Chain A
Amino acid sequence: MKTGLLPRLGRDMRRNWPLYLLAVPMILFYLIFCYGPIYGQIIAFKDFSPGLGIMGSPWVGLKHFEAFFQSRTCWALIRNTFMINLYALAFGLPAPIIFALLLNELRNPLFKRTVQTVSYMPYFISLVVVCGMILEFTRQDGVVNDLIALFGGRRTSFMLDPGWFRPIYTITDIWQGLGWGSIIYIAAITNIDQGLYEAATIDGAGRWRKMWHITLPGIRETIAIVYIMKVGQMMSLGFEKIILLYNGMTYETADVISSYVYRMGLMQMNFSYSSAVGLLNSVINLVLLVIANKVSKRLFEVGMW
């Protein structure tokens, strides 16, 4: 006999209420601090003033979105956001995979473990310190320029040059995430059936063919998942690092949508306008995620949903 949803729910509540009580703090957290701001997004369609509150402020429709699309910075921001992420996907995604493959070829367990442990280190250094190091080392009289001068090159003020922002951002990102990002691939590699390698050896396959025909296919699902996750975080990730590293001289290439939202919203107190831009950012993010998932399903038969 089928019972309706509500009676079943009622019975479940009567039986499991002590259980649900345990989850109340977590549920409250998500309702207030995650769903609260999602509701708060409606100020993107209003002219918000703190005195009137979210409900009391007048509706203005798409005014702020139009203002953004008509602003001079709009396309530069979209281009920068896209470019920095393209760099991250093109170089940041393969780097840990290559590192894991190389590590896998090491035969000396002690050496392997040491390299691994050392490679995790940058991940544990705080972003403030990492950015401090970047600024320190790339100064006009910093270590990097000392080395360039030693080999006869010209000293450059890297962090004041818009052309250098993306490369430096990407290189240091790879540096910080190389070891940490490889953990998951190393784990996936250990799960590959060793019999496959033995069979391939008997068939006369060398190191490279085994890597290409066994190891890489063996970790492709992992690669797909990491790729979807990366795309899913595209629009928000890296923004803390950007606002630590950029300056008026490099806005041209460094300013992305999320850093612009921060500047407009929290430094110039343009709440409604910056919320509109932020909402746009979230929506683009969601769309990208759905596309990435589709692509991954088509190419690797792996998806998040």
Chain B
Amino acid sequence: MKLRKRPKSIFPLLNGIILCLVGALCLYPMLYIVFASLSEPARIMKHTGLLLGPLGFTFEGYTLAFRNPNILTGYMNTIFYVAVGTACSLAVTAAGAFVTSRKDAMLAKPIMLGIIFTMYFSGGLIPLYLLVNNLGLYNTRMAIILVGLVNTWNLIVMRTSYLGIPDSLEESAKIDGASPLRTFTSIYLPLSKPMLATMTLFYGVGNWNSWFNHMIFLRDRAKYPLQLIMREILIANDMSSMTNMNTVGTYTNDMYQVLVKYAVVVIATLPILCIYPFLQRYFIKGVMVGAIKG
């Protein structure tokens, strides 16, 4: 048998170039913000075109951002919502996934069907808003934690991973007289550590980046997370409620805004961007598990 000889293809080279470009496009916008945040405001305001490095060098933006009381409380609030929200979500999701993955429990299936139905038909925004109001949760941090307590997609992923744990382990625990709670905490939780890491990342990032529920359920600025403060700075372009003589100092309002705008984006985004590459193995697994059983 003779193999046909092919002319050397230019495809690998072309492909490499295309993918390099894609990578650059994914990376550059954030890089631009980082460069801009370190640049001197007067120069960045006059600059046109791409940035290949900071113009001048100053940390002033970061100093000012951290000195701004709104941004500081926002940051604290975000950390609170992420920590408490993620912990509660993890506990409820893991326990719920464990119960609905039991094959010998009659109600496991009906409960799961009832949950999956809510993925396809939801009550909508307005009834949810009225409900939260009626429960007296409006303008409470509790509302944020409760409304986002379980993400159905995450629950399905968690449940699927539990379904993959052999029944024999549970059987032997049962023979030894272990209660369901015991089986859950001493067999299932330890075995699903990688999946718990994935869930922590999913819920954590979700809570860190979330803003809409906060916007409709909170009134006090003192409870706003960083994302809402950033919305005012970036989207509404309005910093009037957070600038005064004390905060602005020697800068003009425009300069102050430019300085703080870029710095706050970096402050709010960099923590997650530094963490995710190390959790890559886990979240890839999470996405795959969800796809199989979707």
A interface list, Cβ under 8 A from B: 8-9, 12, 16, 18-20, 22-23, 25-27, 29-30, 32-41, 43, 48, 50, 54, 99, 102-103, 105-107, 111, 114-115, 117-122, 124-129, 131-133, 135-137, 141, 143, 146-147, 149-150, 175, 178-180, 183-184, 187-188, 202, 204, 206-207, 222, 225-226, 229, 232, 236, 240, 244, 258, 261-262, 265-266, 271, 274-275, 278-279, 281-282, 285-286, 289, 304
Contacts and interface: CB of A to CB of B under 8 A. Distances in A.
* Chain B, interface SS category: helix
Contact of B124 (A35, A105, A107, A281): A281
B227 A187 contact: no
A265 B111 contact: no
Contact of B131 (A12, A37, A286): A37
A240 B23 contact: no
A147 B272 contact: no
Interface string B172-196: 0000000111001000000000000
Contacts of A232: 119-120
A202 B2 CA distance: 9
A132 B232 CA distance: 10
B131 A36 contact: yes
A93 B180 CA distance: 43
Contacts of B120: 232, 285-286, 289
Interface string B27-45: 1011011000000000000
B274 to A, nearest CB: 10
Given A118-B27, A129-B230, A175-B25, 13 more contacts: A19-B105, A33-B147, A38-B118, A38-B122, A41-B124, A41-B127, A121-B26, A128-B211, A129-B269, A137-B29, A150-B49, A187-B288, A240-B211
21 contacts: A12-B107, A22-B95, A22-B180, A26-B150, A38-B127, A50-B130, A118-B23, A122-B29, A124-B269, A125-B269, A126-B208, A126-B269, A175-B26, A178-B22, A183-B288, A184-B291, A187-B284, A229-B294, A265-B125, A265-B129, A282-B123
Given A41-B127, A244-B231, A207 B11 contact: yes
A206 B9 CA distance: 10
A225 B272 contact: no
Size bin of chain B's contact surface? 35 or more
Contact of B127 (A36, A149, A179): A36
Interface in B91-140: 91-93, 95-96, 98-100, 102, 104-107, 111, 114-115, 118-131, 133, 135
Contacts of B239: none
B200 to A, nearest CB: 14
A27 B111 contact: yes
B50 interface: yes
Closest 6 CB pairs of A and B: A37-B123, A132-B234, A40-B127, A26-B96, A126-B209, A278-B124
B16 interface: yes
A99 B272 CA distance: 24
B219 to A, nearest CB: 13
Nearest to A273: B126
B92 A25 contact: yes
Contacts of B233: 132
B235 A115 contact: no
A135 B234 contact: yes
B205 to A, nearest CB: 6
B216 interface: yes
B273 interface: yes
B106 A22 contact: no
